[in-house]
Structure 1
Amino acid sequence: MTRRYSEVDVFSPVAFLGNPVAVVHDAEGLTSEQMQRFAKWTNLAETTFLLPPTTAAADYRVRIFSATQEFPFAGHPTLGSALAWLRAGGVPQRPGEVVQECGAGLVRVRVDEQMLAFEAPPLTRFEPVGEPELEQVAGALGIQRSRIVDASWLVNGPGWIGVRLANAAEVLALRPDPAGLGSLCIGVVGEHAPGHDARFEVRAFLGDDPVWEDPITGSLNAGLAHWLRESGEPVGGGYTAAQGTAIGHEGRVTVSYEGDRIWIGGHAVVCVHGEVTL
């Protein structure tokens, strides 16, 4: 069956310098096995499949797959799917806001032309990382354990372990061994010196995945935003994070705090729109 298909570049105002997501529209009738097989074939970090919602509160439902597994939630696929749905003729129930149904529940997405932001879902695991796991994390990153300033579980879909280093230069200097990651999902953050256009530099490493360094990662940045605020970092009303620098991307993620709510935003551009036979 022929279905509409899009590829959207997310978290960069410049096309082809963000993080691409593949979006299959009109995905009714596809099995989980077919979705997983196609997601592996695209060779992108994630592929999404748009479906009719099962609740009147949502505008559409999405299923999100990496090359190896399905996620209940992921950040850049949420923004990319929302823009693809709108550009394909979707009309939200509330102007300027799309409500996405996914495995993690309902996620609100604000839309202002090509600038989108999702309301970060709650963390389902937020606690210190045990010492044996930290030794494994340090080994996977190729650094001494003593260089890890702080660490926390940041699970909101993917099972992130957040790691803080002394500064952005240390983050950019990391040369992890993909084979050493095992099944770990590690997100690393360090602060830039004053004068940089971003407050923090972020990198994301994915074990057991052919795309082992993710260019720009919404779910990780959502978890980091929660952790930084809860740990007492003076983040004020928000900040900008850079990601993808080490691998030739120019990702920028905006973090906004509104009371207890955290919004994760960035630009998105539809770069490919056509058809796929599935």
Structure 2
Amino acid sequence: MRRRFVQCDVFSAEALRGNGLAVVVDGDGLSDEVMQRFAAWTNLAETTFLQKPQDPKADYRIRIFTPSREMPFAGHPTLGSCAVWLDADGVPKQAGLVRQECVGGIVEIDQTGPVPAFLAPVTLQQPMPDEDLQAIENALGLDTERVVNTVRLNNGPIWNVLELASAADVLAVESARVRWPNFQSIGLIGAYPAGQDCEFEVRMLAPSSGMSEDPITGSLNAALAHWLQAQGRLAAPIVVGQGQKIGRLGRVFINPVGEGQVYIGGQTHILIRGTVAL
């Protein structure tokens, strides 16, 4: 059966400088096996399938697959799938607000700001076990004196986060030194000096897709935003950079709107429209 198929690029102002996403628009009726097999074939970080919603409050439903497993929630598939649904003549029940159902629940995507932005899901924040921190530091060859904060975050995916002393420290890390599944996904964050176009540089290492590094990671940035807000370090909108180390130009717009409420925004470029036989 021929099904509509779209490829897009998410979280960059420049097409081909963000994170690629494959979207099957006519995703109803596909088995889990076929969806997983197709996601492995695209070999992108994530592939999504648009379906009719199961929750009457939602505008539509997505299933999110990496090449190896299904994800309950992910950031760039959220914004990219929303852009594709709207491009395919989707009309939200409420003007200016798209409600996207995924395995992790309903995610609200605001369409009224300068860039589309999703409401970051609740994030569980826990201390990172000392043995895990030591293993990560050893694997990456980190100078412990350059590690200024650590935390384990969970917003569907689980992130072992290390805040380094600077963005330069983050960019100096060699991502090829870690591989999935030896480590759960590792998030690195470090601040830029004042006056730059980004407040932080972020990297995500050892993703489940088998790559050594993810280009731009909305779900990690969403978790980091909640963590920064809980620490009292997110009082105003900021811009986060990601992907520089691998030639991308990721820009994630983080906007706190109230206690425990943060929006994660970015641009999407639709690059390919066609059909696929599934």
Q: Please say whether Structure 1 and Structure 2 have the same fold, judged by a TM-score greater than 0.5.
A: yes
Q: Structure 1 residue 228: deviation in Å?
A: 1.2
Q: In the TM superposition, what are the counterparts of 1:16-35 in structure 2 within 5 Å?
A: 16-35=16-35
- Say whether 1:43 aligns with 2:38: no
Q: Check whether the contact 1:141–1:175 (CA below 8 A) recurs between aligned residues.
A: yes
User: Hey, what does 2:131 align to over in structure 1?
Assistant: 132
Where do 5+ consecutive residues of structure 2 fail to align?
none
1: distance between equivalents of 2:142 and 2:108?
A: 38
Share of identical aligned residues, percent? 46
Q: In the TM superposition, what are the counterparts of 1:207-222 in structure 2 within 5 Å?
A: 207-222=207-222
2: distance between equivalents of 1:126 and 1:85?
A: 32
User: Hey, what does 1:63 align to over in structure 2?
Assistant: 63
Q: Check whether the contact 2:3–2:24 (CA below 8 A) recurs between aligned residues.
A: yes
TM-score (norm 1): 0.95
Q: Secondary structure at the match of 1:188?
A: strand
Corresponding letter in the other structure for 2:160: I
Q: In the TM superposition, what are the counterparts of 1:104-115 in structure 2 within 5 Å?
A: 104-112=104-112, 115=115
Corresponding letter in the other structure for 2:94: R
Corresponding letter in the other structure for 1:237: A
Question: CA 1:212–1:112 in structure 2 vs 1: closer, same or farther (change >3 Å)?
Answer: farther
2: distance between equivalents of 1:6 and 1:157?
A: 25
Question: CA 1:12–1:207 in structure 2 vs 1: closer, same or farther (change >3 Å)?
Answer: closer
Q: Check whether the contact 1:2–1:275 (CA below 8 A) recurs between aligned residues.
A: yes
Q: Check whether the contact 1:139–1:180 (CA below 8 A) recurs between aligned residues.
A: no
Where do 5+ consecutive residues of structure 1 fail to align?
none
User: Hey, what does 1:266 align to over in structure 2?
Assistant: 266
What do residues 63-110 of structure 1 show as CA deviations (whole Å, max 9, x unaligned)?
Answer: 101111111000000000000000011111111111000111110001
What do residues 18-47 of structure 1 show as CA deviations (whole Å, max 9, x unaligned)?
Answer: 111100111111111111111111111100
User: Hey, what does 1:13 align to over in structure 2?
Assistant: 13
Number of positions where the alignment pairs a residue of Structure 1 with one of Structure 2 = 276
Q: Check whether the contact 1:165–1:189 (CA below 8 A) recurs between aligned residues.
A: yes
What do residues 236-256 of structure 1 show as CA deviations (whole Å, max 9, x unaligned)?
Answer: 222100000111000100000
Q: Structure 1 residue 113: deviation in Å?
A: 8.9
Q: Check whether the contact 2:191–2:199 (CA below 8 A) recurs between aligned residues.
A: yes
User: Hey, what does 2:157 align to over in structure 1?
Assistant: 158
TM-score (norm 2): 0.95
Q: Check whether the contact 1:114–1:269 (CA below 8 A) recurs between aligned residues.
A: no
Which moved further from structure 2: 199-208 or 238-247? Answer: 199-208
User: Hey, what does 1:225 align to over in structure 2?
Assistant: 225
Q: Structure 1 residue 142: deviation in Å?
A: 2.7
Q: Check whether the contact 1:142–1:176 (CA below 8 A) recurs between aligned residues.
A: no
What do residues 206-265 of structure 1 show as CA deviations (whole Å, max 9, x unaligned)?
Answer: 2443223111110000011111121232x3222100000111000100000111210000
